[in-house]
Structure 1
Amino acid sequence: MTPPNPAAQTAFGPMVLAAIEHNEPPQRRLVDDDLAASFLPAGLRTLVAATRVGALRRAVIAASERSGPGLWASLACRKRYIDERLSDPVTEIDAVVVLGAGMDTRAYRIARHSDMAVFEVDQRLNTDRKTAVVRRVLGAVPPSVHLVAVDFERDELMPALAAHGYNTSARTFFIWEGVTQYLAPEAVRATLGQLAAAAPGSRLVFTYVRQDFIEGTERYGAEAVYRRFRVRSQLWKTGLVPEQVGDLLAEYGWRLVEQAGPSYYRDTYIHPAGRALAASPLEWVVLAER
């Protein structure tokens, strides 16, 4: 029997959120993902279907807010931010690499209208599970999508990608969403070291949890989240300091373009959607380029 893998099990949470957001009226959605619900197990699909009823949807969001104030909006908005940067007309790329892909649907939304190569990288447990899910939903994995099994704590990323047809000369959009906090600091740096081989013109978007939350000196109102990820399980291992992110990236040949957090999400996504939500300062998203 395969031993339980707590980190791998977290792959479903963000997609439940995206699927529930898709039940909002279009003008009120913080993120738009019409595949999210179909990628979930049957029990979670039933939960998502129930949230088509507005009162139940609001109750689910309110429960999330009680356990982690602002995290619902932050997770939804980070997905929206990444989707927009990926589809920005000025982003000229040849390939997409999704690091820690989990149940993310981007590769399959891209495959609807493009044959650009997309590489989904994750632990073997998740790549096997993802393959089965995609076959159930779409019938087969699209030819342009490549699932690559990598353990970020032990394996080298670039050789694994190359073994699946990745060309290191390709201008690549790397997405590293909701992953860095689950890795040891050495694994975060090792992955950045691998990404130092990326071609000029490549872009990197990643998210991180603040270091002061990991250390426990600032909880940002998310006491339940701290107990779950730092006290009971210690699944979250790494945090970063916003003012030091640019220097960290520069060590590996990347230039910081921007960081986005709660005020950006509020002004760009939440207020225009007419939503009475706040975003958490706990997690930030970064855009960098080579």
Structure 2
Amino acid sequence: MRAAHSRARHQNDPRRILTDPLAPKILRLDSGDLPPLPDDPTDLYGIRFLAARSRFAEDVLAAAVATGTRQLVVLGAGLDTFAYRNPHAGLRVFEVDHPATQVWKRQQLAAAGVGIPSSVTFAPVDFERDSLAGAMASAGLDRDRPVFFFWLGVTPYLTRDAVLATLRFMAGHSGPVQVVFDYYGEAPSTLSPRLRAVREAAAKLVAELGEPWLTCFTPEDIADELRAMGLDRVDDLVGRELIARYIDGPVPDADPVGGRVILAGRTTTP
């Protein structure tokens, strides 16, 4: 819900990074119902980071589609709307999420009058308990053809073992594979007292909501893990550098969690 609200509020941003007209609609909000963008630089940074990570993933996907990729897997889809504004003819989209979350999302879509395209396939799975491979096989993913994965806003909430097991599933794909995912870096020792307090408050909030942050990585750690899996391309982007790709002017260093985005892939068969 927080991610969806951030994408919806971002539609009123004069420095818009991601155009997503369905973001307010899936929440059944009119543009006038959305609160104004925050004055606090950390809150504004967070909204723009969520927009930038989605924009980046969608841009890289477009390049992959242009070279023949016709399968997209959205892991931990939540209230993401890409599948319902997908501009790519012939691209099949698999939405993977917890069964209860998928039921709720479909209710939200129906209430908002957003139809489910025939290109969308739902694959219910609990990342901590179920077999992702089994769920994707049942959904009809072709492991021999190129595939692209979106995995945004998920890894901090899983155990390290679950994160790495999911990445190994992706890396084990027989055909060419690419994934865009984000992660939280280790808390830098140089955090200002204000940002440290923000981080601690945010961690306390998500824990109280029953979704505590469980996993973070250093850039060197996650890169080593990915290359050991056979993913020979690893592009790791600092959050503020990613935002700066899409807006003019300086981006404040206002990130309390060290959010980063990785594009990893392999263009050959393993």
Gaps in structure 1 of 5+ consecutive residues:
1-11
Distance 1:160 1:231, change over 3 A: closer
Aligned partners of 2:236 and 2:260 also within 8 Å: yes
RMSD: 2.7
Query: How many pairs were matched up?
Result: 260
Distance 1:34 1:82, change over 3 A: same
Q: How does 1:1-290 map to 2 (within 5 A)?
A: 12-25=1-14, 28-40=15-27, 42=28, 45=29, 48-51=31-34, 57-58=36-37, 61-62=38-39, 65=41, 68=43, 70-88=45-63, 92-110=68-86, 113-138=88-113, 140-212=115-187, 220-221=195-196, 222-223=198-199, 224-229=201-206, 235-271=212-248, 278=253, 280=255, 282-290=258-266
Rounded Cα–Cα distance in structure 2 between residues aligned with 1:129 and 1:275: 39
Aligned partners of 2:73 and 2:94 also within 8 Å: yes
Deviation at 1:167, TM superposition (A): 1.0
Q: Deviations over 1:45-64 (max 9, x none)?
A: 25x5334xxxx513xx225x
Gaps in structure 2 of 5+ consecutive residues:
none
Aligned-partner SS, 1:181:
helix
Aligned partners of 1:266 and 1:278 also within 8 Å: no
Taking only the aligned residue pairs, the percentage that are identical comes to: 31
Question: Match for 1:49: what amino acid?
Answer: G
Aligned-partner SS, 2:245:
helix
Deviation at 1:256, TM superposition (A): 3.3
Rounded Cα–Cα distance in structure 1 between residues aligned with 2:253 and 2:51: 12
Distance 1:150 1:156, change over 3 A: same
Rounded Cα–Cα distance in structure 2 between residues aligned with 1:250 and 1:279: 30
Question: Match for 1:22: what amino acid?
Answer: Q
Aligned partners of 2:244 and 2:250 also within 8 Å: no
Aligned partners of 1:266 and 1:279 also within 8 Å: no
Distance 1:130 1:108, change over 3 A: same
Deviation at 1:134, TM superposition (A): 2.7
**Which deviates further from its counterpart, 69-78 or 200-209?**
69-78
Distance 1:91 1:245, change over 3 A: farther
Question: Match for 1:87: what amino acid?
Answer: A
Rounded Cα–Cα distance in structure 2 between residues aligned with 1:181 and 1:191: 13
Rounded Cα–Cα distance in structure 1 between residues aligned with 2:210 and 2:102: 23
Rounded Cα–Cα distance in structure 2 between residues aligned with 1:237 and 1:14: 18
**Which deviates further from its counterpart, 143-152 or 127-136?**
127-136
Deviation at 1:97, TM superposition (A): 0.1
Aligned partners of 2:226 and 2:234 also within 8 Å: no
